[in-house]
Chain A
């Protein structure tokens, strides 16, 4: 297993809060339905007619991230480039529209050129085609947590020697208007470019920082009912996995991004029991908002902090974000 840490050298965002990761005001509500994304200016005049919104956002965010990372991608042979993307509702609107066609006019009236996108992994597959990402391509879909899990799975694949350059992030598109989660829809995409610290140093790349992710599970049936003695240990262990031993006494602040649920309540109380100052922020419908918080957190120097999320189904994830350069010299990773 490789020990060299991955560092973030590129950040790309397109979102209703704007496309500058440093200027995302994520605490104010934003309307996923607003006409906030301009296909022609972001992507070009043609070639995207049949590409659904969740894929357009991912293409745009990836281009922005790679521009930010300089020549990172062109230095790495195609079979050594990997990409992991989290999405929960990236094609939900498309599936809904297709299903309406199938159940009324019938399958013959589906658009053939759009048909491949019924499969959620084609969003990242399309991006792979554009940038020669031939190492591998992963699509993760766990509700709320898949964006953080993409960072985790991608970093693990790097550690296992499966790539030398990693793109990881999340994309989401608005839920159909008749869906109960529509008004809280996540929309947009965020992509990080990660590479080994030594490679970034060798090419003189500007660093945004590092992030480390752990996932765990708090069963919803136990979450609010009888005490689950192991659950606190589970959360503590997840925190320990993303926090180097020398940082244990720092107690980084936590931003927990989740909709109210017994799982979120339990996680919040656990984090506070463990001595962590924890803010609770409402999640959107999707996996994007936690990744936007990470992207934003990496744009400015500041102390390490943790972005956490909890899905009502029990899936929990947290990412420790270390912006570069660290404000406290004792945090220097040497």
Chain B
């Protein structure tokens, strides 16, 4: 199967702008508290968010976050304008430019379409090859990357620009408040006292290409390969996970199979783990079922404890964390949970100093409302 290389990356989140800033923060694991949204219309009990620095401009906020990440990824990969022209854009976002399509507080302001993030990226990089906006909620970024890999494997494209972006949405946060799914303190996946999630803003965008294409243009560095994806749908409930986790298990095993990975070659998992009570238990049990004896020792890196739940960007930011771990050969420390880890979530969350990555694969999960699940497997490019 055609290998898909990750040769460029860009990111923005509450950790700041840029991939180097993100890796530095991952290794330092600072405690970052969410803040009340800077929105006078946010009439809700817990208007909490991890804001990301959006560049100034008149575009919607999700577009501006995506543009920041995309520009970095293009420069990082060294793509020329003629290469960009042939690169389709696939961008995941749950709510798109929510600041545009939600009712403007200023009634006279026009309400332009919300899901123009992929098109804005295509315009900015000069792509002629297409723009697809994927909106599978909190799995959107993961699906966007999986679709990008399929575009390459089916021979439709040699190089793709893909990722995820999510900005504050008043309605989304209000609905999470109404459903009792926001934690008043922080995003605390696998914590005994977790009471819901906390959203974060962010974007991660990648340049993906065939090994041939990379060789022809003299690429010297690839972070990792996007080696496989597994897709599934619970078809169970709009918001609650299927308790047995049969479909998330299938997404994981399909992704491992497609990547040619075995449970023994996986050195880390970046889980979906949002801090929602039932979801974290179901995912922990599914990891136990997929990895068997290996599960107790398999490091799990809980990115959302650091940056919040970045929804449509979460799968892409999770994939970026995985790519950086493979590139550095290091698993950064988890945000400290200590003895407060939920015994019903028996996953291995290494805390303390960074540790070396053992195993050449990393599994990344992104699950969503509607029971939409996607798992990605990344492989070290040196492997």
* Residues on A facing B (Cβ under 8 Å): 1, 78-79, 82-83, 88, 92, 95-96, 98-100, 102-108, 110, 112, 115-122, 124-126, 128-129, 131-143, 146, 149, 153, 156-157, 159-160, 162, 179-180, 215-221, 228, 230-231, 234, 241, 311, 313-315
By the criterion CB–CB under 8 Å, are B44 and A106 in contact? yes
Kindly identify which residue among A112, A138, A221, A231 contacts B179, using a CB–CB cutoff of 8 Å: A112
Instruction: Tell me the chain B residues, 152-193 only, with Cβ under 8 Å from chain A.
Output: 153-156, 170-172, 174-175, 177-179
The one of B88, B110, B370 that contacts A137, using a Cβ cutoff of 8 Å? B370
Q: How far is the CA of A107 from the CA of B126 in the complex (A)?
A: 41
For the complex with contacts A135-B232, A315-B122, 15 further pairs of A-B residues with Cβ separation under 8 Å are A108-B177, A115-B175, A118-B174, A120-B95, A120-B135, A122-B369, A126-B238, A136-B232, A136-B233, A139-B134, A140-B133, A162-B231, A215-B132, A217-B127, A217-B130
Task: Fill in one digit per residue for B227-249: 1 if any A CB lies within 8 Å of its CB, else 0.
Answer: 00001111111110000000100
Question: Which B26-61 residues sit within 8 Å CB-CB of chain A?
Answer: 41-45
A143 adjacent to B233 (CB under 8 Å)? no
B95-109: CB near A (< 8 Å → 1, else 0) gives 110000111010000
* Contact between A103 and B113, CB atoms less than 8 A apart: no
Contact of B174 among A98, A159, A216, A228 (CB under 8 A): A98
Closest CB pairs A-B (n = 9):
A125-B370, A136-B231, A107-B44, A141-B115, A106-B43, A313-B119, A107-B174, A215-B130, A99-B103
- Given A102-B171, A118-B171, does the pair A139, B131 have CB atoms closer than 8 Å? no
Inter-chain contact B369/A137, CB cutoff 8 Å: no
B120: which of A83, A137, A313 is its contact (CB, 8 Å)? A313
B236 touches A153 (CB 8 A): no
Contact flag A107-B45 (CB < 8 Å), given A98-B175, A156-B156, A234-B129? yes
With A103-B103, A143-B115 known as contacts, the answer to whether A125 contacts B123 (CB < 8 A) is no
Instruction: Give min CB distance, B120 to chain A, whole Å.
Output: 7
- Please give, as numbers and ranges, the residues of chain A lying within 8 Å of B103 by CB-CB distance: 96, 99-100, 103
Size of B's binding interface in residues, CB under 8 A: 72
Cα–Cα distance between A215 and B374 once the two chains are bound (Å): 24
Check B136–A138 contact: CB distance below 8 A.
yes
Contacts of B372 in A (CB 8 A): 121, 125, 136-139
Contact status of A220 and B233, CB under 8 A, knowing A107-B45, A141-B96, A153-B147: no
- CB distance A219 to B123 under 8 Å? yes
Task: Indicate if the CB atoms of B105 and A103 lie closer than 8 Å.
Answer: yes
Closest to A101 in B: B174
Inter-subunit contact B153/A1 (CB<8 Å): yes
Contact indicator B370/A124 (Cβ below 8 Å): yes
Residues of B within 8 A of A230 (CB): 85, 128
**Residues in B whose Cβ lies below 8 Å from that of A180:** 110-111
Give the Cβ gap from B25 to chain A, nearest Cβ, in Å. Answer: 28
Residue with the greatest number of chain B CB neighbours at <10 A, chosen from A1, A102, A160: A102
